[in-house]
Structure 1
Amino acid sequence: MDRIDSYKKALPKLKEILNEPETEINRDAAIKRFEFTYELAWKSLRDFLRNEGVICLSPKNCFREAFKYGIIEDNPLWFRMIEDRNLTVHTYDEEIAKRIYKNIKDYIPLFEEILSGVQKFGT
């Protein structure tokens, strides 16, 4: 299974946990699924762009290149999402976790945009 197929499976799982009542366990599960989906998203972009001859080595760089290529729209939420992802990896603070959990819902359309853009341009 390639990365985009894994991404197609991860995104509905993230949406699923966000529809559950907010508990500490569900919040932690949502953040973990967010991390996994985020990694698959930017790496799917990287794979697609590499096939187009564009090299990007970081999520921020890949999002910028995807915008230039027309795969995604310019949106300040991309950079907030990167910041939130970095916070989930490097710190654990209950208040930060609550904030990130609430932000994840804002990122679903971005994740969907990546998927549809890669599928649209990849065919």
Structure 2
Amino acid sequence: MSERKAQQSLENLKKALTRLEEALQEKDTNSLYIDGTIQRFEFTFELFWKTVKRLLQMEGIETKTPRETLKHAYSVKWLKNEQAWLQMLRDRNETSHLYDEAKAKQIYENIKGYFPELNDTFIDLSEKYGDSGSDDES
């Protein structure tokens, strides 16, 4: 796994987190905002676990599934709250398989609580694996 690819993954993840944060700043009285926020969460979570998987590969750790990736990331202390991440995975899986307005509202509320964990973890990983000033722009 190239360092450049890891940096690109982190850049994409930063953009997704910014968009999720924008969605969370909207009023939750409109079901379109709730739906949009959930969709942005799904996208952000997918990018997150795949980025973590790439970074683990750089460290010589191979994983296949999101759950396995999160477990390994927790074991190497990249994730602070394993239960929160596993709940994010459950919520992400649930939103992609069924739609229930009450459940969507609950997951939306969960996402508000997840955002600080997502953002803090992103900052930690960026400090460890972010752009090291390489000027290789090929």
Alignment correspondent of 1:116: 123
The alpha carbon displacement at 1:121 in A equals 2.7
The alpha carbon displacement at 1:8 in A equals 0.5
Q: Which amino acid aligns with 2:63?
A: C
2:64 to 38, 43, 57: 57
1:75 aligns with 2:56: no
The alpha carbon displacement at 1:47 in A equals 0.6
> What is the total number of aligned residue pairs between the two structures?
123
Structure 1 segments of 4 or more deviating over 3 A? none
Does the CA-based 8 Å contact 2:70-2:82 persist in structure 1? no
Unaligned runs of 5+ in 2: 1-6, 131-138
Cα RMSD for the two superposed structures: 1.4
Does the CA-based 8 Å contact 2:74-2:82 persist in structure 1? no
1:98 to 99, 102, 105: 105
Does the CA-based 8 Å contact 1:49-1:66 persist in structure 2? yes
The SS at the match of 1:31 is helix
Higher-Rg member (1/2)? 2
Q: Which amino acid aligns with 1:53?
A: G
The alpha carbon displacement at 1:11 in A equals 0.3
TM-score, normalised with respect to structure 2: 0.83
Change (3 A) 1:121 1:4: same
1:15 aligns with 2:60: no
Percentage identity across paired residues of the two chains: 35
The alpha carbon displacement at 1:79 in A equals 1.3
Q: Which amino acid aligns with 2:74?
A: F
1:13-57 superposed Cα distances (whole Å, 9 cap, x missing partner): 101111111110000000000001000110110010011100111
Q: Which moved more, 1:104-113 or 1:84-93?
A: 104-113
TM-score, normalised with respect to structure 1: 0.93
Does the CA-based 8 Å contact 1:41-1:114 persist in structure 2? no
The alpha carbon displacement at 1:116 in A equals 2.0
Does the CA-based 8 Å contact 1:20-1:26 persist in structure 2? yes
